[in-house]
Amino acid sequence: MGAEGDDGRVIAGRYRLRARVGRGGMGVVWRADDQLLGRQVAVKELAGDDDLPDEEAARRRERTFREARAVAQLRHPHIVVVHDVVEQDERPYLVMELIDGGSLADRIAADGPVDAAEAARIGVDLLAALGTAHAAGVLHRDVKPANVLIESGTGRVVLTDFGIARLAGTTTLTETGAFVGSPEYTAPERMSGGTTGPESDLWSVGVLLCAVLSGESPFRRDSMGGVWHAVVAAEIRLPEQAGPLLPVVRGLLERDPGRRLGAPEAARMLRAFLETGRTPRAAAVTEPGRAPRRTPAARRGSWTDWSPTETDVPRRRTGTPGAGRRPRGVLIAAVLAAAVVGAGVSAALLADRADGGSGGGSSTGSGTGTGGGAGSAGTPSSAVSGRSADPSGASGSSASAKSADPHGTSVSAAPAGYRTAHDPAGFSLAVPEDFSRDLQGERVFYLSPGQTFRLGIKVSAPQPGGPEQVLSKASAEGSRTNPGYRDTTLVESVHAGLPAASWEFTWNGYTRTEGPRHTYDTCWEQSGRMYDVWVSAPVGRGAEAKRYFDTALDTFVPKSS
């Protein structure tokens, strides 16, 4: 039954199946002839399974009829037209408009990612289609490139396959415990079993924009558990190609559905990009029925990319970082932001809580760390040819993929552009080649030229309550010690197979010149010690800072006990 074959069956005495043109999770799509009206149509045949119990078979039929009822209500140029729904031999068939063209997924696979203008055009059309569906009480619940068709010749965008859509107020088929949908494109509230609304479809549009711009979803992982963690808890790594549309993508990928960018505003921003080549920020005002939406960068979604940014100079301060709200579920509190640009400020570095890691209880040794947002600890970095270096920061000679540090521990080689620092404080890790070492009390810093980026490490004795308690205590002081402390995320995580806590937050900086800051921090106990590793930087340099942070964690080796 290949695309070139002729099946020949006639369904409901009217629709002759010709060639198979696609297959999805719920069935096969055929090119067919409507012999009554003399036109070509697409016929979706529900995948059969003779081994299914009668109850499950009936459930599958109901799913298809539900799709027909939902989509048949809708009239929009970017929504596939449903002509008919019929049943034969206890198997349902959905008769739809035939679109001469392939799916968006096929297009990306064949030709690669699209440019920002094409992505914006697709986004505007999908948002318009979803606006019509949502106004009719219909949720799609499976927006992804495979369910978007691009008509040949015209380029018309058509949203299809409402196979798991439901009418508002009806019982969902997934209430039996089965997950229906594409996890990589599914909103966190739905992945967590929460209430699903129109906002969930908008999240999926945000993921789709990332996918069409870069070639894959930012939540793609090797396992269902990995996908769940990436969607629900881990820091969201936006592709560099999303840069021109970042205000829209970030607004749609807000984990809190009440703060997620609405369809009209997202469409307005995309149209503005198409007209001017620049994407404006989201309006501060909310749409009717939506919670207030904050416009500053790095909200609760744990961002690695893009935000308004300034350079910065730290000032001396004392106290521990803190005060974060405690989200539900696995989310506990916050990930920090702060770093230092400016020269000749070693005294401020010692007391700078936003750059100072939270491991430990003393005022000078405990600072806001740089939490690797939810679940970011231990994320594999790209791998690597290595270099080694002495503690002073001078580059060493090339090394093999694995080498032994002075403590006798096997350590991963540094990636290209990095060197392995064997620190006298009792650990090894990879740092960028141009970072220099600076010891400030209990904390070791590796600083970029101009101190734009600050990588900090603190080694201390284990603390009561472990890493989570230490970071929670630091977060509790955040409002007092960090002007504008906000958008915190503190999560339980894992590093090197050990329980850890990761923290992230944004704050305003201490001066106008300094500008807003963002930090990633992970704290864990290992070999009888507590380790706190963080990276801080101007919020607009988050992608670079996160790469430094991930590399530091991935290559960190403590002194052998």
Do 147 and 158 form a contact (C-beta atoms < 8 A)? no
118, burial (CB in 10 Å: exposed 0-12, middle 13-18, buried 19+)? middle
Given 142, 305, 423, 554, the catalytic residue: 142
Give the distance from CA 256 to its chain's centroid: 13
Q: What is the rounded distance in angstroms from the CA atom of residue 296 to the CA atom of residue 318? A: 26
Distance of CA 278 to the CA centre of its chain: 23
Strand partners for 56 = none
Q: Where are the beta strands (DSSP E) in 344-485?
A: 386-389, 395-399, 402-404, 410-412, 418-423, 427-432, 436-440, 443-447, 454-460
Tokens, residue 162: 């409402």
Q: What is the DSSP secondary structure assignment for residue 354, as one 8-state letter?
A: G
State the distance between the two ends of the chain, measured CA to CA, in whole angstroms: 64
| Residue 423: both structure tokens together | 């620190």
DSSP-derived secondary structure letter, 80: P
Query: What would you report as the CA-atom Rg of the chain, rounded to the nearest whole angstrom?
Result: 27
**DSSP codes of every residue in 122-190:** HHHHHHHHHHHHHHTTEE----SGGGEEE-TTT--EEE---TT-EETTSPPGGGGS---S-GGGS-HHH
Residue indicated by tokens 């900090």: 456
Sign of the Cα torsion 413, 418, 423, 429 reads: negative
Q: What tokens appear for 559 in the block?
A: 């002194």
Which runs of consecutive H residues, i.e. helices, occur in 420-512? 466-475, 478-481
**Token couple for 105:** 């997924």
Q: What are the CA-CA distances from residue 231 to residues 227, 283, 298 (Å)?
A: 6, 26, 16
> In sequence order, what are the beta bridge partners of 403?
411
Token pair for 289: 């029925």
- 434 catalytic residue (yes or no): no
- CA distances for 245 relative to 75, 130, 239, 240, angstroms: 29, 19, 11, 10
Which residues are designated catalytic?
142
